[in-house]
Chains A and B, each alone.
Chain A
Amino acid sequence: MTPAEQIDFLFESGDVRKKLTQTALGHLFYEEVLNFERLVPGPEKPESIRITNDLGSYELVSRGETDRLAFQEMRRK
């Protein structure tokens, strides 16, 4: 299999998580093959949180939050 065919194989089922472990995904981001800024918001993401990429690391950045419970819950996660 060529590398291009291998990549197609990883995505052929429609969900790459069936073909790559969480560890593999971690390495892809860590080695900067993928970029955290290209992730899309999930259903549970708080409104005021965004993610940025910093050389293979991620940064979760919050906007100001005045609801104490919401703030502490976000920070705890």
Chain B
Amino acid sequence: MSVQPLESAQKRLPGSLIAFFGFFFVTLTAFSEEGSCYHLWLKLREQKLESESLTLKAKDTETEMAFAFEKEGSWYPELPKGWFDLDQGNMKRAMHIRARAEAEGTKEKTLLKMLKNYLDDSDRTWIMAPADIRKACPKQPGQG
């Protein structure tokens, strides 16, 4: 049985370790020190933002236009706090209408499934009921 590959690996190991720690050190210093690449990039970005005009003239006119932005997202909890509130009266109506439509078969059964599994906590990404409700209303056998 040959032990050569093992010996060869043992010889190369210190070199690999030095290279690894060297890379780690360079990366660390690049991000941590004042005047590092990261700080330089931050300053340049700040400079660029400060120098950008927030208005521009509409093409071939003297009309000033201000910049605007659009941000997309998909998850209700990601909305900035205090910007929007639930309209609970409208919400209740919308859920009743949807539940009726699902029961009649005109809409896909999404809400009815959610309501059926209201107390189910087997899938952490779909927990509907807060912990106090789940404790107060333990699941019945056969209930989702």
Contacts and interface: CB of A to CB of B under 8 A. Distances in A.
Given A33-B98, A65-B66, A57 B73 contact: yes
Given A23-B125, A23-B126, A63 B114 contact: no
A44 B77 contact: no
B65 interface: yes
Interface string B5-48: 00000000000000000000000000000000000000000000
A56 B69 contact: no
B105 to A, nearest CB: 14
B1 interface: no
Interface residues of A, number: 60
Interface in B97-128: 98-99, 103, 110-112, 114-115, 118, 125-128
B57 interface: no
Given A23-B125, A35-B94, A44 B70 contact: no
Given A3-B99, A4-B99, A35-B94, A22 B76 contact: yes
Interface in A25-59: 25-31, 33-36, 38-46, 48-49, 51, 54, 56-59
A21 B115 contact: no
5 closest pairs, A vs B, by CB?
A64-B66, A44-B82, A57-B74, A24-B128, A39-B84
16 contacts: A3-B115, A6-B118, A7-B115, A11-B92, A17-B86, A26-B77, A27-B114, A31-B111, A33-B95, A34-B94, A39-B86, A46-B83, A51-B79, A57-B73, A58-B76, A65-B66
Interface of B: 49-50, 54-55, 65-77, 79-88, 90-92, 94-96, 98-99, 103, 110-112, 114-115, 118, 125-130, 133
